[in-house]
Chains A and B, each alone.
Chain A
Amino acid sequence: MISELIINAFLVTIMLAIGIALLKTRTVIFTVVLTSAYSLIAALMFITLDAVDVAFTEASVGAGISTILFLAAMAYLPKEEEENLNSQILPAISCMVLGGILIWCSYDLPEIGLLSSPIHQHIVPDYILGSRDDIGIPNIVTSVLASYRGYDTFGETIVVFTAGVAVLVLLKNNTNVSKQKNKKSNGKIG
């Protein structure tokens, strides 16, 4: 039982290493690949933390689709990031202070994996029994997602649809504007 927590701690340390590499790198392709690796290791961690559905989704959507989106966007963007070290001191200090406060507060959080921690006490037994008796789907996550919280999932679909429409509108305007700009510049030259 403790071995899975040790694997877990090892994986999360790899994620920290990837995060530090992301802070250092200035090349866009490295950034994209590191983000993909980060999501993939997060998916592995979800498996060790018993969240198999989340791991599946993270590996396909987080590591797959968002990497494709980043690569597609990368083709039209500058390949290197400009260096400017002057203005980073204040954000760095504020992040360090906030991180210190969060780590200080982490002593009040319940230890990982205790059955007696408050999150496991409240309504979860009802959901587990209800999934077996009322809904009859063996996968509890599915029964909560599609039945108990069905409206929420519907709202999520609407959010994704809205984002898709917004992306289409933005990219369509993009081509129009560039054409207009070309016309204007051609006119000036002429």
Chain B
Amino acid sequence: MHLLVLSQEKISNMISSTIGIWNYWIVFLLMMIGLFLVIGRKNFLKKIVGLTIFQTSVFLLYITFGKIKGGTPPILNNAIDTIYSNPLPHVLILTAIVVGVATTALGLSLVLRINSEYGSIEEDDISAQDLVDYHDQIESSKKIDKKFVQ
């Protein structure tokens, strides 16, 4: 009986320690997915989605730090022995969520502007068009030079 209780405790300890790190692992993996979407994909809309993913995973990391086992949400009550989870990360993240939406809106409007200028939101297309424009400029400046020489 004693042994059984001990092993149960061990198992629950094992589960809790695995879960205690599991959250961090997945959050880091989500961060890397977001980073990959930003630096690996050539589509600008996907890059902004990647930024959103990265942001939300950072929020999760912060809120995970603030959690206390058996704690309640940080709203005061009259019970004596209440443990409140840490309210400070919550405040930081509240600010960050709103600023994140502002960033998303600005990024999306930049993407719309780029799309109306180039007709594409793929990075390769846009750099190719820029190259063509640059060559055109060089050609036209050569023509102007010839006119002046004559």
Query: A132 near B: Cβ within 8 Å?
Result: yes
Q: How far is the CA of A123 from the CA of B91 in the complex (A)?
A: 14
- Partner of A69 from B37, B69, B108, B115 at Cβ < 8 Å: B108
Q: Decide if B29 is an interface residue (CB 8 Å cutoff).
A: yes
Partner of B19, one of A6, A76, A167, A174: A6
Query: Given A57-B98, A91-B40, A112 and B53 touching (CB < 8 A)?
Result: no
Separation in Å of the A162 CB from the closest CB of chain B? 8
A156 to B103, CA, bound (A): 12
Band of interface residues on B: 35 or more
Q: B112 and A76: CB pair below 8 A?
A: yes
One digit per residue, 1 when the CB lies within 8 angstroms of any chain A CB and 0 when it does not, for chain B 30-67 equals 11111111011111011001001100100110011111
Nearest-CB distance from B86 to chain A (Å)?
A: 5
Output the least CB separation between A42 and chain B (Å): 5
Contact flags B82-122 to A (C-beta < 8 A → 1, else 0): 01111111110111011111111110111111011100111
Contact indicator A19/B113 (Cβ below 8 Å): no
Question: Is A51 within 8 A of B66, CB to CB?
Answer: yes
Asked if B53 contacts A45 (CB within 8 A), the reply is no
Do residues A77 and B97 form an inter-chain contact, with CB atoms below 8 A?
A: no
A15 to B125 alpha-carbon distance, docked (Å): 32
| B102 engages A51 (CB within 8 Å) | no
